[in-house]
Amino acid sequence: MPLRLPDKLPAIDLLKQENIFVMDDSRAHMQDIRPLKIVILNLMPLKITTETDLIRLLSNTPLQLEISFMKLRSHTPKNTPIEHMMMFYRDFAQMRYEKYDGMIITGAPVETLDFEKVSYWDEMKEIFSWARTHVTSTLYICWAAQAGLYYHYDIPKYPLAKKMFGIFPQDILQPQLPIFRGFDDMFHMPHSRHTEIHREDILANRELTLLAESPESGVSIVMARGGRELFVTGHLEYAPDTLDKEYLRDKDIRDDVDLPKNYYRDNDPSKGPLVTWRAHANLFYSNWINYYVYQETPYDINQIR
């Protein structure tokens, strides 16, 4: 089943080139189907890239999804045309009385700041609180995962001596859960961050369940409220070339940038990346949509509490 996307969203043409079935709003209104409503709060600098990455993964489901994009009133992005933001995004203040079957909150380039020092922290706290009563299941990614765990459960973040950068194998600790249906015993996840959360803090909180971790990259997936909240510290949504672009960008600025680990073929940038996470990324997002959104959300979306 196709995704319902806003008319003229750049991701539509990009994904059609990949033979991914998407449908704009004009055509979707002709179908008599109750789509799942998914809202994405996109805090990443390159918003069109992140939109495309997430929509690519959300497309791998037989369910029809209606995608909306949320932005913050307290923050103006610098790397995305204002025309794009005005056409496809709405402020949280305009959406706060609506309800959604699922929500994704992305990472943000503010992880080295204390949460309270982030300029839009007050608005983020409002959104975190709102999501608990207006969304069936919320997926927090990277900085949003750390921020959500801090806001809801007082889990602190800790600075890393060296950036966690590369593709790292993850061990599954709760293989019986539906989020891991179809997974192998181990899967790979991209990471790109300067801070971390500690497993001891997660295990000490009875409201949290540690689902997956890595000996090298640490805590990777945490669940709360029976799956109504999922916190992912890495970036399963990353495209094959994302870490390459980040490495080349940083390398042009500084001379102390390490190669992303376990990423390039034979550790040689000229040979390109070896993609080892895409299959499990598709499974993860499909399982989230099917088991934690579709199977749990009420038919009458206004009954979400």
Return the active site residues. Answer: 142, 235, 237
Q: Alpha-carbon distance 130 to 134, whole Å?
A: 6
Sign of CA dihedral 40, 105, 212, 110: positive
- Name the phi and psi angles at 119, rounded to 5: -60, -30
**Two structure tokens written together for 301:** 């979306």
Which residue in 16, 8, 98 sits closest to 56, CA to CA? 16
For residues 248 and 165, is the Cβ–Cβ distance under 8 A?
A: no
For residues 58 and 289, is the Cβ–Cβ distance under 8 A?
A: yes
Which residue in 236, 261, 258, 242 sits closest to 54, CA to CA? 236
